[in-house]
Amino acid sequence: MILRKKMEINKAYRYCGRDFTIDEMEIIRRITEMELSRNRMSQEVCRQLQWFKPDGKLKEMSCRVAMLQMEKDALISLPPPKNKNNNGKPYPPVTSLSNPLPPIHKPADELKKIHLRLVTTREQSKLWNEYIERYHYLGYKPLPGAQLRYFVECEEGFLACLGFAASAWKVAPRDQWIGWTGQQREKNLHLIVNNARFLILPWVRSGNLASKILSMVSKQISSDWKKRYNYQPVLLETFVQKDRFEGTCYKAANWILLGKTKGRGKLDRDRLQTLPIKYIFVYPLHQQFITILLS
């Protein structure tokens, strides 16, 4: 790969919501020339560029994604990965652990002791990924940034999977509704959490279950997030694909419909609709969420 050795003076390169100056790109290039693994490289880049999450930890995942895109843009060259996921496949293997369970056909108010179980172990993580890959229409892909994943269970059995992760960088209806500036958004975007996956398992038929789960998680996620990341989000968001769903469960759980996406990804510079149109829903977790997001 031929690297771009000459860069325009004063030009900034933007990846994962962060601008990288020419000097910073040179620091990253020098780090990639060290005999380090990709993991160690991302850690060193975060340290030298002072790239931290709100809880003070290194922003490693965003850094890895940024460096992969830099390599794609021929700005740096990375060493081959030492470890491959599932023999090079970007998705988890399907095993008997995720085979269908006995049907559960009861209204939500008849199910006993519905509860959320936070994914905390490697085994739980693999199983959650496998269920999403096997039964969610979007399949599995790693969730971006800070994240929490849940299993939903009751005495009758296993009901659902939920995944929350970093919010979308720019969403015009959301950003206009909040009324923040670009600087305020960049400072406080971590206080918005995206409900990236919600899966009611196909053998479960239970009226009002989805809205009940959303209500439960809205009461629990702030404290769970605080325990893991040392700060509390103030707003939830989600995107519901318009040609597949109406977002009925979100409406029933009192989420606010803000509008629709335009069907353009963040790299769609030609303004062509390339992605499905999605409804945008949000749910406040704090009474003063607007004031906090505008601070």
Domain count, the chain: 2
Residue 133: give the domain boundaries: 96-293
In terms of domains, do 223 and 129 share one?
yes
CATH number for position 201: 3.40.630.30
In terms of domains, do 227 and 268 share one?
yes
- Between CA 17 and CA 190 the distance in angstroms is 11
User: Which residues, in sequence order, are CB contacts of 176 under 8 Å at separation 6+?
Assistant: none
Would you call 174 helix, strand, or coil by DSSP? helix
pLDDT at residue 2, as a whole number: 43
- Between CA 132 and CA 140 the distance in angstroms is 5
Q: Does residue 6 lie within any of the structural domains?
A: no
- Between CA 123 and CA 43 the distance in angstroms is 25
In terms of domains, do 65 and 186 share one?
no
In terms of domains, do 280 and 226 share one?
yes
| Mean pLDDT score across all residues of the chain | 88
DSSP string, 36-60: --HHHHHHHHHHHHT-B-TTSSB-H
Q: Does residue 8 lie within any of the structural domains?
A: no
Q: Per residue in 165-175, pLDDT tens?
A: 999 989 999 99
Tokens of 88: 């090079």
Question: 4 pLDDT exceeds 70?
Answer: no
Name the residue with higher pLDDT: 291 or 36: 291
Q: Per residue in 268-280, pLDDT tens?
A: 444 545 678 999 9
pTM as predicted: 0.75
Q: Does residue 246 lie within any of the structural domains?
A: yes
In terms of domains, do 234 and 143 share one?
yes
Q: Per residue in 240-250, pLDDT tens?
A: 999 999 999 99
